Structure 1
Amino acid sequence: MALPRNGVADLGLAQAGVRRVEWAERAMPALRRVRERFAEELPLRDLRITACMHVTAETANLLRALRAGGAGIALAASNPLSTQDDTAAALVAEYGVEVHARAGIDSAGYDRNLVNVLEQFPHMLLDDGCDLVNTAHLERPELLAETFGGCEQTTTGVIRLRQMSAEGALKLPMVAVNDTATKRMFDNRYGTGQSTIDGIMRATNAMLAGRTMVVAGFGYCGRGLAERARGMGARVIVTEVDPVKALDAVMQGYTVLPMDEAAGIGDVLVTVTGNRDVIRAEHLASLKDGAVLANSGHFDVEIDLAALEALSVEIRREVRPQTDEYVLADGRRIILLAEGRLVNLGAAEGHPAAVMDMSFAVQALTVAWLAEHRGELQPGVLDVPLGIDTEVARLELEALGVGIDRLTPDQEDYLRSWRV
């Protein structure tokens, strides 16, 4: 059988990739059930799906479900540091997916791969950060001639899509998979919290107990990170621009400070905001000797890397894997992890498979919903239908062997009535 067109590093890694994908599948029971359903119903028969996502074993299991549903798939990486070359090879050689991704590819290659996967004239787009949608709209709109919708699974990407929609630039209905209750709870809070700590510890082998961590941003991701850092014995300082979120952090017992004050106190500073220039030149100038900088927001813009380089008289690359040391004029050393990119994927393996099980089950069912309603939806940012989120939570509870109560008919009537 001829292999799909591809731009992977080494097809000889395919069997190692299969083992990695199958290991992840053990912790993804909800998605496995969706795949079995898709194989019977073929809701995606003859549809072409183009995706820009992290090329990991968990993503591979999502794509296996979509393939089982009848879709043809072309995949590009959403981050050059997160690509698992063995997983990419397995997707091509064993699972019939067209893949254009390799670990460590440069910016020009990254952009070229986005165009490569769009050239299949997709019916649907699956995006992770809005780079795919952005590229298609700004550079190759003709490749969207047959596209009828898509999904976005990150906070950063949804922010970009909403701005596109507000300006009348978004030409497709895009579902904000990121904004479901299960995604925010499981993926953003529990997943980002654990995997960010994992990335920091793999890169530095540092003790967190007794040290001060500054968490910039107290959304779902920041909340999860703060909880886990505190659980490991760190003193946690939160910085925020939103008064409600800042108040929430205070009521949960965290110290809340402006970054101007927090920067000089922190031993480890982590950005999780989805915005740019959160740690700027004035903050960098006040850092402790040996302070560690990491980012768990989607793009590498949260830490002002140009300012860090300008302040440095020497840059020592890779003092440890994914760990660079910047030496300032006064001798202070600043440690930057994963080049300022996503530390949980650049220095570790991202979220545990059990976390991605729910997020990707929601995504798979949403893709099927989009296919069912093809031609009925208007351009803009749409919510995931509530029933999908509820169904995935039910599948996950069943897989965990957890039972819950059901409303009685009288209780349902009571909730529907306004009369006493």
Structure 2
Amino acid sequence: MESPEKARLDTFFRQITTRFPARDHVTTLVITHLLPERPAFLRAMASTATVGAILPKPRSVDMPTLEAVRRAFVVHDLSRELFADSTRALEFLEATAEDRNVVLVDIGGYFAPCLDTLVEKFSGRVLGVVEDTENGYQRYAALERLPCPIVSVARSPLKDCEDHLVGRSIVFSADALVRARGDILTSRNACVIGFGKIGRAIARTLRAQDLRVTVHDTDPVRSVQAHSEGFRTATSTTEALRDADLVLCATGNLALRQGDFAALRNGAYLASVTSSEDELELGSLSGLYQRTPVGRHLTRYETTGHYFYVLADGGAVNFVHGAAVGTYIHLVQAEILAATSALSQGRLQPGLHDMPTTDRQAIARIWLDHFDR
């Protein structure tokens, strides 16, 4: 990042943290993508709270950025297993933030399995969680009881700009990986599983690039929305997959289970918009399919009479090319900072929360002043 851009970004975040200050003596544990623009956000977080630990998402780490962040913060490895075991999770929290007031900043619901234990047994106080993704929102919403407030930015209007561009970047990366092996997608059949904000952007982008698009969503309202936009809709996963040369999974949940893969047509390309363990049950194919790398970010799965290709090992395919969405990402990062501030006040009740409209409007005004002038 060039010096003038870095200075402008730091000024933007300084205004955000001035508008939404956190209370003193708050520590954050931050799960994050470590992409080139991310240090500015982390510096802003550090200016308003003590950053106890950075936990980078494993498939979205830019190595020079990781090296730079390690010089300024404590960085730990991240895995689902760490927070699936409540005892390990509690030990980790005690080691990084003993006796402190803590806000957990999440991408993907990592803290959900152990949240009860962390809230009840931690020597300090878990003030709440900030969740960035639809997948994470669903993980917290599925809990029988929420022991602390969860502030979600996943469905924020400020995230719409990012989601639209993420959809485009998903299609760009899928197309680039297919072309790298000498194939093209133009005029072929595509299937989008999930017609939320990102799935909708993917479907529209695919159609604009001359693919025939089928949409499948378990929510009948979203299926109607897809139908109203002229997309063919399928009533089952099997029907959706049957003729698709490209399948993009954007449910924010588990889209394809073991029995679904057999419905993929021979030679189909399969990609996800989020972590492979969240969308695709690829682990269940061990012993059933032979897995062979056939190029960078492309793996062939083959069994007798059937084969298909998985892009980027089933992880978010757009991270192969940096997942760039421009300055719109800073709207969401600003709302995360505002949500951290809100949780630091200790006034929110346990349950799911959105940020107030007035706060989102304030963030949007600051963003316009810095990036649209």
- More strand per residue: 1 or 2? 2
Match for residue 270 of structure 1 among 241, 248, 255: 248
Give the alignment's TM-score, normalised by structure 2: 0.86
Answer yes or no: is 1:88 the counterpart of 2:61: no
Provide the secondary structure at the position in 1 that maps to 2:34: coil
Distance 1:28 1:302 in 2: 38
Name structure 2 gaps, 5 residues minimum. Answer: none
Q: Deviations over 1:12-71 (max 9, x none)?
A: xxxxxxxxxx35993996774132453799645442111122222333222111122353
8 A contact 2:189–2:245 mirrored in 1: yes
- Equivalent position to 2:138, from 151, 159, 165: 159
Q: 2:348 aligns with which of 370, 377, 395?
A: 377
Share of identical aligned residues, percent? 23
Question: Separation in 1 of the partners of 2:118 and 2:299?
Answer: 34
The answer for the alignment partner of 1:328 in structure 2 is 303
- Alpha carbons of 1:250 and 1:39: their partners in 2 closer, same or farther (altered >3 Å)? closer
Quote the offset at 1:151 in angstroms: 0.6
- Equivalent residue letter for 1:300: E
Q: 1:25 to 1:225 in 2, by over 3 A?
A: farther
Counterpart of 2:237 in structure 1: which amino acid?
A: M
| CA gap 1:306/1:69 in 2 versus in 1, 3 angstroms | closer
Amino acid at match of 1:215: V
**1:210 Cα shift?**
1.3
Identify the match of residue 260 of structure 1 among 233, 238, 251. Answer: 238
Partner of 2:338: 365
- What residue is the counterpart of 1:191 in the other structure? 165
Secondary structure, aligned partner of 1:81: strand
Q: Bigger shift: 40-49 or 291-300?
A: 40-49
1:74 has 2:53 as partner? yes
Cα distance in 2 between the residues matched to 1:89 and 1:393? 32
How has the CA–CA distance of structure 1 residues 118 and 124 changed in structure 2, closer, same or farther, with 3 Å as cutoff?
farther
Q: 1:410 aligns to what?
A: none
In 1, the alpha carbon distance for the partners of 2:6 and 2:197 equals 23
The answer to whether the 8 Å contact 1:264/1:283 transfers is no
Contact 1:55 1:83 in 2 (8 A): yes
What are the equivalent positions in structure 2 for 1:348-359 lying under 5 Å apart?
A: 348-359=321-332
Structure 1, residues 149-198: CA drift from partner, whole Å, max 9, x if none?
2311111111121222xx22x22111111121111x1222x132022123
CA contact (8 A) 1:267 1:290 kept: yes
**Structure 1 residues 304 and 50, CA, compared in 2 at 3 Å: closer, same or farther?**
closer
1:236 alignment partner in structure 2: 213
Residues 209-250 of structure 1, C-alpha deviations (whole Å, 9 max, x = no match): 212210001011100111111222222111111111111111
Is the partner of 2:271 in helix, strand or coil?
strand
Q: 1:89 to 1:135 in 2, by over 3 A?
A: farther
TM-score, normalised by the number of residues in structure 1: 0.77
Aligned to 1:413: none
Rounded to whole Å, the distance in 2 between the matches of 1:224 and 1:118 is 42
Find the partner of 2:125 among 146, 155, 171: 146
Aligned equivalents of 2:201 and 2:167: distance in 1?
Answer: 4
Say if 2:107 and 2:133, in contact at 8 Å, map to a contact too. yes
Pair 1:34-2:10 in alignment: no
**Which residue identity lines up with residue 81 of structure 1 in the other structure?**
R
Cross-structure match for 2:368: 397
Q: CA deviation at 1:326?
A: 1.1
- Considering only CA atoms, is the larger Rg found in Structure 1 or Structure 2? 1
1:386 is aligned, of 357, 363, 367, to 357
CA distance in 2, matches of 1:42, 1:293: 43
Q: Which residue of 1 aligns with 2:265?
A: 288
Of 36, 39, 42, 1:63 maps to 42
Secondary structure of residue in 2 paired with 1:82: strand
Amino acid in the other structure paired with 2:215: V
Partners of 1:187 and 1:118 lie apart in 2 by 35
- Per the alignment, do residues 137 and 296 of structure 1 end up closer, same or farther by CA in structure 2, a change over 3 Å counting? same
C-alpha distance 69-281 of structure 1, shift in aligned 2 (>3 A): closer
Secondary structure, in 3 states, of the residue corresponding to 2:308? strand
> In structure 2, what is the equivalent of residue 7 of structure 1?
none
Pairwise CA distance, 1:377: 1.9
RMSD value over aligned CA atoms? 3.0
Aligned amino acid, residue 212 of structure 2:
R
Q: Quick one: distance in 2 between partners of 1:248 and 1:89?
A: 45
Distance 1:262 1:41 in 2: 45
Q: Is the 8 A contact 1:31 1:357 kept in 2?
A: no
Instruction: State the Cα deviation string for residues 45-104 of structure 1 (Å, max 9, x = none).
Output: 442111122222333222111122353341112x311122321221121xx222114xxx
